[in-house]
Amino acid sequence: MRYCFLLFLLFISNFAFSQNHKCPEFSITTINSVESRTLNNDFFNHFYFGDFIDSTTKWDAVSNLNIKNSIGFFSFNEAEIFIPSEKKLSVLISSSTQNIFGLGFNKDVFQLVFAGNDAFVGKKVLASPLSLNQHFFSTIMGGISYKLNENISLNAAAGPVALFSYTNFDFSNSSFYTSSAVDSLILVLEGEYCRTSGPTFIKGIGLNFATSIRGSNGGYDWKFGISNIGLAWTNNKTISTKRDTAINFNGIEVSDLSNISAAVKQELDAIENRLNMKGDTSGKNISLPLLINAECSKNFGKLRTDLNILYYNLPGFFPYVQLSPSYALANTLRVSLPIKFGGFGTVNVGPGFEIKISDKLSAVIEMPMLFTPLKLSNNVSYNVMGKLIFKCTDHASLL
């Protein structure tokens, strides 16, 4: 969907060029991050790539956790075109694809799942916090930019939303209990669960609004915007349920080792039947995760400082702040040292480059994740930001 729309943007660009001596400004931005403030990076890599996780790796991960923990991922990708006008009103068109995932868990639940329940015999393990939020959707918006004066413009846009997947569950009130005889594990599930389903790729449609203000004052170029102001309506295959269920798990009795897979499948089928959710389906209204972003840039000769802030209104997500001081080594190359904080992680730094491909086209890539491969931090932290900027107007200087 997003690739077709990029072709549409290029078509609009060519059309506008033939109609107006002021050409469009076209940009593509991508910000991607997977982080945790406490989860061990070594354990994450073994788990993510499906490698064998030995006992030492598991217990190292457990010892690194706090009482409350989280891990999250977000990928924000946007293509935007600005078609200037001699008058106060100009045209804005944008397309975005956003994928956000956040998981909250406590130390005891992690230990129970990955290291076993030997340490919890005769004890109750509380699940709080045990929650998951996941959104995956695309937007297409068209709008206007109103020039208040020579330096400040107000922008507003609206358009449809395509929802690809959505999951939300919160079982923070649940608990686990291991019997003193160590022959059963009682799981008490209490909470809410919602997940989009169905055979189609698009699980829902909706409407999105966005507004922003941008300007240039005292040598500072800045922008502040709010988007994802909208709803998506899912199909009637969406699972939506509340549960207050106790499951007594007594283990699996296997008399024939050659048929162990069938025994495991039988037990899993029994658990699924107890939590049968096939009838708990209906259409549901999904609020998009509100997004606030801000940008600011200032030149000091060959030196330049860029500040980017991105915030999703989701549990466990702190404002993602990236400060990127940079220096122009030549007319076509600028190097930077981006420093990031927030999101689902903490502090990290790394290299960055901006290359002037032509007089009107530049590319930027910044990777504030140097602490991870150098093992200066044990926690999961991978971050990549990229931009492709094409400008044809009078302020076409890129570096």
Which residue in 189, 334, 215, 201 sits closest to 271, CA to CA?
A: 189
Q: What whole-number distance in Å separates Cα of residue 231 and Cα of residue 59? A: 42
pLDDT of 18 above 50: no
Provide the pLDDT for residue 195: 87
Provide the pLDDT for residue 255: 57
> In this predicted model, what pLDDT tens digit does every residue of 140-153 receive, in sequence order?
999 999 999 888 99
Q: What whole-number distance in Å separates Cα of residue 278 and Cα of residue 388? A: 45
- Which residue carries 């890599």 as its tokens? 45
> In this predicted model, what pLDDT tens digit does every residue of 175-187 receive, in sequence order?
988 877 656 678 8
DSSP, res 119: G
Q: Is residue 396 assigned to a domain?
A: no
Q: Which two tokens stand for residue 251?
A: 């283990």
The average confidence (pLDDT) of the chain is 85
Provide the pLDDT for residue 160: 97
Provide the pLDDT for residue 198: 83
Provide the pLDDT for residue 120: 84
Q: Is residue 349 assigned to a domain?
A: no
Q: Is residue 193 assigned to a domain?
A: yes
**Cα–chain center distance at 140:** 18
Q: What whole-number distance in Å separates Cα of residue 178 and Cα of residue 123? A: 6
Alpha helix locations (H) across 217-320?
260-274
pLDDT of 372 above 80: yes
> In this predicted model, what pLDDT tens digit does every residue of 241-258 receive, in sequence order?
888 877 776 655 555 555
Q: What's the mean pLDDT in 313-319? A: 92
For 121, list phi and psi in degrees, rounded to 5: -65, 125
Q: What whole-number distance in Å separates Cα of residue 242 and Cα of residue 202? A: 25
Per the structure, the complete domain to which residue 163 belongs is given by 2-217+227-289
Provide the pLDDT for residue 9: 44
Buried b (16+ CB within 10 A) or exposed e, 6-29: eeebeebbeebeeeeebbbbbbbb
Number of structural domains found in the chain: 1
DSSP, res 372: T
Q: Which two tokens stand for residue 306?
A: 């860029």
Q: Is residue 27 assigned to a domain?
A: yes
Q: What is the DSSP string of 329-364?
A: EETTEEEE--EEEEETS--EE--EEEEE-SSSEEEE
Q: What percent of the chain has pLDDT over 90?
A: 52
Which residue in 86, 223, 216, 224 sits closest to 151, CA to CA?
A: 216
Alpha helix locations (H) across 73-157?
107-115
pLDDT of 20 above 80: no
Q: What's the mean pLDDT in 254-270? A: 59
First to last CA, the chain: 32
Q: What's the mean pLDDT in 296-316? A: 93
Alpha helix locations (H) across 65-123?
107-115
Task: Rounding to the nearest 10 degrees, give the CA dihedral for residues 36, 37, 41, 46.
Answer: -40
Provide the pLDDT for residue 211: 96
Task: Name the 3-class secondary structure at 367.
Answer: coil
pLDDT of 135 above 90: yes
Helix axes 107-115, 55-64, angle to 10 degrees: 180
Q: Is residue 356 assigned to a domain?
A: no
Q: Which residues contact 389 (CB under 8 A, 6 or more apart)?
A: 25, 26, 27, 361, 362, 363, 364, 398
Task: Name the 3-class secondary structure at 40.
Answer: strand
Single-letter residue type at 208: N
Q: Is residue 113 assigned to a domain?
A: yes
Q: Is residue 155 assigned to a domain?
A: yes
Contact 344, 72 (CB under 8 A): yes
Higher-scoring residue by pLDDT: 214, 259: 214
Provide the pLDDT for residue 190: 87
> In this predicted model, what pLDDT tens digit does every residue of 193-244 receive, in sequence order?
888 888 889 999 999 999 999 999 888 999 999 999 999 999 998 888 888 8
Q: What's the mean pLDDT in 313-325? A: 94
Provide the pLDDT for residue 354: 93
In whole angstroms, how far apart are CA 143 and each of 4, 8, 80, 88, 149?
A: 19, 16, 11, 14, 19
Q: Which two tokens stand for residue 149?
A: 């004066």
Q: Is residue 123 assigned to a domain?
A: yes
